[in-house]
Amino acid sequence: MEPRRTATNRPHHGRPVRRRRRRQGCAPRVLALVIIALILGVGAYALFGSDSNGDEPGNGAGHRRAEGRSGNWIEDEDDPEGDNGVDGGANGNASSGNNDNYEPGPRLPGLPLTLISTRDVTDTGYLSLINHSHPAPSEPDAHLLESAWPTVAVSRIDGMYLHSSALRAISYMFATARAAEVGAFFVSSGFRDFYQQAYLYGDGTSGDLVMPPGFSEHHTGLAADILVVGLGMWDLVTAPEGLWLAANSYRYGLILRYPQGAEDITGIAFEPWHFRYVGRVHAYYIMQQGFVLEEYIQYIRDQGYFSFEKGGITHYVFHQVPTDGMIYVPDGRDFVVSGDNMGGYVVWAVQ
């Protein structure tokens, strides 16, 4: 009886007959896999829809961090003023949906969606609402905090940290101000941990300008107190430098967090020096509509989604509360996700 040919006793001449038969036997399996893939593809297309032009879903990078860049990606560090789509001016054409029976998939024409676990997305926290009613969920990961000095001017060079996204935005803004000879800005306060906030808060008699520990935006590293060399804090109310900050910060993804006249909504007194990073697209829409952050998040929650066109780019912003830990995100496109600190998520993407 001929011995079985194995890797050790295989003849050196020709290819073994047994191996050739095995390769031919794979053909039906490959054909079956192709048929299954086609069936799944057709099912997914029917479930999530197609682009408005009838094309297949885009071939973007899918889930990315906010610092990612692709095509018309607005959070582009080579475009500090946001001129590749969001360049200021309140002339975007906005449209909004309705929260009744909200289903993201079929309700966002031109933006195919897919389900993904919230564990598999990067929550930037850009829109995390922090106020007297909503404590900070946690401090940012250490790798997201960077020393503000020497990237930007600061009131002290040791122990001053900011979230990397906020630091980059503030750096661009300061550079623009210097080039335009607007004024010499510096950061007087950035990230604060619980113990620093407790020290500032003291016994709670410091007034409305200091939040109790655990309830300050400074815990995120996304908030910064910005002052001007040679001017006092309250000089920003009428000084050209302060007016410039209030009018132009949105270009860099920053908003004046506690504007005058919104005290009943924010629960915090007017602070012309306190700016919060939320991302350029959100800052643009907040500025356009005259919202404060509380109003903006509530608007998204009420509407379900809205879209607007700017510079030939369609922007989609939509809100979801996870179901079984799953949310919809764009299929094959870049996007940014932020928890709202109220159990929901805000997703932004471009068409």
Q: Three-state SS for 249?
A: helix
Q: d(Cα 8, Cα 170) in Å, to the nearest integer?
A: 67
Q: Three-state SS for 187?
A: strand
From 75, 217, 241, 271, active-site residue: 271
In 3D, which of 27, 30, 2, 29 has the Cα closest to residue 17? 2
Q: d(Cα 44, Cα 21) in Å, to the nearest integer?
A: 36
Q: Which residues pair with 308 in a beta bridge?
A: 94, 315
Contact 285, 308 (CB under 8 A): yes
Q: Three-state SS for 226?
A: strand
Give me the half-sphere count of Cα atoms (radius 13 Å) on the Cβ side of residue 268: 22
Residue 271 known to be catalytic: yes
N residues, the chain: 351
Strands 254-258 vs 271-277: parallel, antiparallel or unpaired? antiparallel
Q: d(Cα 272, Cα 236) in Å, to the nearest integer?
A: 6
Q: d(Cα 334, Cα 73) in Å, to the nearest integer?
A: 8
Enumerate residues 6+ apart whose C-beta is below 8 A from 190.
Answer: 148, 154, 160, 161, 162, 166, 218, 221, 223, 224, 225
Residues labelled catalytic = 271
